[in-house]
Structure 1
Amino acid sequence: MDVERDRGTSESHFAAFVEMLSSAVGHSDRAAPLRAYCAGLILPGERKSVEPMAARVEPTRVQAAHQSLHHFVAKAGWSDEAVMAKVRTHALAMIERHGPIRAWIIDDTGFPKKGVHSVGVSRQYCGQLGKQDNCQIAVSLSVANDHASLPIAYRLYLPQVWADDPARRAKAGVPDDIVFRTKPQIALDQVRTAQAQGVAPGVVLADAGYGVDTTFRTGLTKVGLAYVVGVQSSMSLWPPGVSPRAQPRTMSLLPETSLAS
């Protein structure tokens, strides 16, 4: 009985959560595919692409479910940023009951891919594999306290080979206003947006992939955020209040040479 009661409670919580998200996807016709998509993401199964998710969610009408999910993901005009804002408003209040936000965590996540047609797929370093390979990369910003963490921004990184290829962009449906931006540039945009939206501040944490970027670190200082980031061992450092000093120029004197006839 306890199992049945817990299952019913989980299902009711899931239904309420999806209903809350539905207001962020616009037209009411998108509520059903949103529910199916969310269910597909949390159900067992390694592959989370549309077709296998449709088979798990509605095994008796896979083709129709696949078409509905594909349209929702690839064609429907809803904003992922609006959905994430809804999630943030809902979840952050519960997280902050256990204490104030202490950190903003910047990271990127690699998704290994076999093909070359998914947007942003390129041969690049994939943290999930620990090596260079064919993958997509997404940059994320999460906020955290001692109790939990919550992703509040998430954006696909578009490599320059994609950004500079009009035919490839057109075939994949990449909007014209999406241009090449480095991962630190994307992360700094996410930080500025979170500040503008009134997210409680925290110390920014990032690995050396971001920490070595001087413009990124300077940008964090300009918006008033402290940071702890990874750097390379070759980086030069100066104490607070001390500026880099130009090295004195030295002149080398060449020894006289004699010419032999």
Structure 2
Amino acid sequence: MDPGASELPAALAWDAMAADFEAFHARFAALFARSEPREQAIKYVRSLMGPAARRNGWQLAEAIGDRTPDRVQRLLYSADWNADAARDLLLDFTIEQFGDPQGIGVLDETGFLKKGTKSVGVQRQYSGTAGKIENCQIGVFLSYTSPRGHVILDRRLYLPEAWCSDPARRQDAHVAKDVAFQ
């Protein structure tokens, strides 16, 4: 795929990209000790690049060919793999494929509107996505952009001070003890 492309390729172009996609995925294969999550990961990433209008568990499972989102959810929530190691491998790939003296790092936030109160970090707070104070989570993203393309490298969920100072709420939401307000 052309690193400078701004849109996903047409469906017929996927076959032409198959070898490149397999080589890209092979960089990450060692992150998975078992073959099942490794195979699910390749289907998941492929489905993210597909035509699904929404990318939630049900729509991605349908695109993958799974009857329910259970396998997608298991990959994301309980498969044994290291997100930080994946980020480091992605950084190596990014330098090789997109590195350029004109490249810069970009730090940006986005809001995820929520209806409930149980999702980690959710509270009434300003969201640029909504353009006002809403019940939401805030994600902070680090990306790299150059004349050769744009890649999201890392992510963190912002944890508001009210969440950090509420041990019961943190425990209920499985927030690690070492996560601090910043």
Scaled by the length of structure 2, the TM-score of the pair is 0.80
2 CA distance for matches of 1:91 and 1:143?
8
Counterpart of 1:44 (choices 40, 45, 51) is 51
Gaps of 5+ in 1: 182-261
Quote the residue 1:75 is aligned against: 78
**Do the aligned residues in 2 keep the contact of 1:88 with 1:150 (CA within 8 Å)?**
no
Q: In the alignment, which residue of structure 2 is the partner of 1:57? A: 64
| Alignment-mate amino acid for residue 14 of structure 1 | F
- Offset from partner CA, 1:128-168 (integer Å, 9 cap, x none): 22111122212222233333333322211111222222232
Q: Say whether 1:156 aligns with 2:161.
A: no
Q: Distance in 2 between matches of 1:170 and 1:146?
A: 44
Q: Indicate the residue corresponding to 1:13 in structure 2.
A: 20
* Counterpart-to-counterpart distance in 2, 1:102 and 1:138: 23
User: Which residue of 1 is the match for residue 126 of structure 2?
Assistant: 125
Deviation at 1:6, TM superposition (A): 2.7
Shift of residue 78, structure 1, vs aligned partner = 1.9
Secondary structure of the corresponding residue to residue 27 of structure 2: helix
Contact 1:106 1:140 in 2 (8 A): yes
What whole-Å deviation, never above 9, does each CA across 1:193-222 have from its counterpart, x for those lacking one? xxxxxxxxxxxxxxxxxxxxxxxxxxxxxx
Letter in 1 for 2:133: Q
8 Å Cα contact 1:105/1:143 also seen in 2? yes
The 2-side partners of 1:68 and 1:77 are apart by: 13
The answer to whether the 8 A contact 1:92-1:150 is kept is: no
**How much has 1:4 moved relative to structure 2?**
8.1
Amino acid at match of 2:84: E
| Equivalent pair of 1:139/1:157 in contact (CA under 8 Å) | yes
Where does 1:1-261 land on structure 2 (aligned, <5 Å)? 6-58=13-65, 61-63=66-68, 66-96=69-99, 99-181=100-182
Report how far residue 104 of structure 1 moved: 2.2
Measured after TM superposition, the shift of residue 73 of structure 1 is: 0.9
Q: Measure the CA separation in 2 of the matches of 1:5 and 1:44.
A: 12
Identity %: 30
- Mark the CA change 1:31 to 1:103 in structure 2 (over 3 Å): closer, same or farther: same
SS at match of 2:80: coil
| In structure 2, C-alpha distance between the alignment counterparts of 1:39 and 1:7, rounded to whole Å | 10
TM norm structure 1: 0.58
Distance 1:4 1:74, change over 3 A: closer
The gaps in structure 2 that reach 5 residues or longer are 1-9
Tell me, in whole angstroms, the C-alpha distance in 2 between the residues paired with 1:124 and 1:25.
37
Report which of the two structures shows the higher radius of gyration computed on alpha carbons. Answer: 1
One-letter amino acid of the structure 2 residue matched with residue 10 of structure 1? M
**Relative contact order, higher structure (CA 8 A, sep 6+):** 2
Q: CA RMSD in A?
A: 2.4
Amino acid paired to 1:62: R
